[in-house]
């Protein structure tokens, strides 16, 4: 049994590095105590959710007050999340319950980035969806059917949307593998994450299953969300005119948040005390990957 910890996740991301965006990084990182110390240097803060705002169903201590303080200084604060299980409305309701004050347009999700692509792609037929029963597929701008255990649905789909693994089984993954092996079709991945930290360890996310199929069947899925450009394009489309040197991406992962921000040409900050690297020394991961953030902060 492979223990799926931060080391395992790190190796998985490094193994697919060639399909991730390329970026340039600073030689060293500056250390600060929290985002408040960086407020004067930036106008826009793009915040990852898990590890920055919350861990599971709990707000990170002080995070809501920090975000409110930035907002009170007229800083624009957006949430940039790879969550695709639910529409942004439900993510917003969760952040609001945890004490954050965001408007709906402040929440930019990988699911929204995927929706932009789907609106331009009226191929006819329907998409088979790796999703959850609560995924509200009626809000996806295309014809869809949830993938369960009916092989005919897999075979009839024009392509596949990967939104959520919360109800995905290895039996379903095998069925999808067999259907794609017989008839290759496009896969659009609405959450490129390989793992997500949960209360009881790391869960395997849509990115994991997409990379596995890509490796086994030799094709290239299309990814929507961090570290890829499309979700940053969507965020910037909501910002209007901004000086990108005064935009900071803040996250708890190197291969999604820091790599994605650097590839897009904005400054990056890694939060170390919550999320993926909680309880670990981050320096070895930074030197092994070469993914160097501009700033390192213990907390939001
Ligand atoms: Mg995170």
pLDDT tens string 41-55: 999 999 999 999 998
For residue 44, how far is its CA from the centre of ligand 1 (angstroms)?
A: 18
Answer whether residue 255 shows pLDDT above 90.
yes
Give the pLDDT score at 56. 83
Give the pLDDT score at 124. 79
Q: What is the mean pLDDT of residues 151-166?
A: 97
The region of weakest confidence among 67-81, 123-137, 153-167, 283-297 is 123-137
For residue 225, how far is its CA from the centre of ligand 1 (angstroms)?
A: 12
Taking the CB of residue 276, how many other CB atoms lie within 10 A of it?
27
Q: What is the mean pLDDT of residues 198-220?
A: 91
Taking the CB of residue 83, how many other CB atoms lie within 10 A of it?
25
For residue 242, how far is its CA from the centre of ligand 1 (angstroms)?
A: 24
Q: What is the mean pLDDT of residues 156-183?
A: 97
Contact between 23 and 263 under an 8 Å Cβ cutoff? The reply is yes
Give the pLDDT score at 117. 95
Cα 222 to chain centroid distance, Å, stands at 14
Give the pLDDT score at 225. 98
Helix (H/G/I), strand (E/B), else coil: 15: helix
Q: What is the mean pLDDT of residues 130-151?
A: 96
For residue 148, how far is its CA from the centre of ligand 1 (angstroms)?
A: 28
Q: What is the mean pLDDT of the chain?
A: 95
Query: What distance in Å separates the CA atoms of residue 90 and residue 38, rounded to the nearest whole number?
Result: 30
Give the pLDDT score at 2. 58
Contact between 66 and 36 under an 8 Å Cβ cutoff? The reply is yes
Query: What distance in Å separates the CA atoms of residue 286 and residue 69, rounded to the nearest whole number?
Result: 30
Contact between 298 and 271 under an 8 Å Cβ cutoff? The reply is yes
For residue 236, how far is its CA from the centre of ligand 1 (angstroms)?
A: 20
For residue 42, how far is its CA from the centre of ligand 1 (angstroms)?
A: 21
The region of weakest confidence among 64-78, 91-105, 199-213 is 199-213
For residue 71, how far is its CA from the centre of ligand 1 (angstroms)?
A: 21
Give the pLDDT score at 3. 65
For residue 150, how far is its CA from the centre of ligand 1 (angstroms)?
A: 34
Answer whether residue 219 shows pLDDT above 80.
yes
For residue 51, how far is its CA from the centre of ligand 1 (angstroms)?
A: 5
Please tell me the pTM assigned to this model.
Answer: 0.95
Give the pLDDT score at 251. 98
Answer whether residue 238 shows pLDDT above 60.
yes
């Amino acid at each position: 049994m492979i223990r799926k910890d931060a080391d395992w996740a790190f190796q998985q991301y490094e193994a697919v590095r060639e399909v991730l965006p390329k970026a340039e990084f600073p030689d060293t990182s500056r250390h600060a105590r929290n985002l408040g110390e960086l407020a004067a240097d930036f106008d826009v803060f793009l915040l990852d959710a898990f590890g920055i705002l919350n861990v599971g169903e709990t707000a990170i201590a002080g995070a809501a007050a920090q975000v409110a303080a930035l907002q009170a200084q007229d800083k624009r604060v957006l949430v940039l999340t790879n969550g695709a299980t639910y529409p942004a409305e439900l993510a917003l309701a969760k952040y609001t319950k945890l004490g954050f004050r965001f408007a709906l347009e402040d929440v930019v999700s990988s699911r929204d980035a995927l929706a932009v692509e789907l609106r331009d792609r009226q191929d006819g037929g329907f998409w088979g969806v790796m999703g959850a029963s609560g995924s509200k597929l009626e809000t996806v701008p295309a014809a869809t059917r949830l993938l369960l255990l009916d092989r005919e649905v897999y075979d009839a789909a024009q392509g596949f949307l990967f939104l959520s693994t919360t109800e995905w089984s290895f039996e379903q993954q095998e069925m999808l593998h067999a259907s794609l092996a017989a008839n290759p079709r496009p896969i659009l991945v609405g959450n490129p994450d390989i793992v997500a930290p949960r209360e009881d360890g790391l869960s395997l996310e849509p990115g994991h299953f997409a990379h596995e199929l890509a490796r086994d069947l030799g094709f290239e899925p299309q990814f929507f969300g961090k570290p890829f450009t499309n979700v940053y394009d969507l965020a910037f489309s909501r910002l209007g005119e901004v000086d990108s040197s005064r935009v900071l991406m803040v996250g708890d992962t190197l291969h999604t948040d820091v790599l994605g921000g650097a590839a897009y040409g904005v400054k990056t900050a890694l939060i170390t005390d919550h999320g993926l690297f909680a309880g670990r020394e981050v320096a070895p991961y930074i030197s092994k990957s070469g993914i160097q953030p501009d700033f390192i902060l213990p907390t939001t």
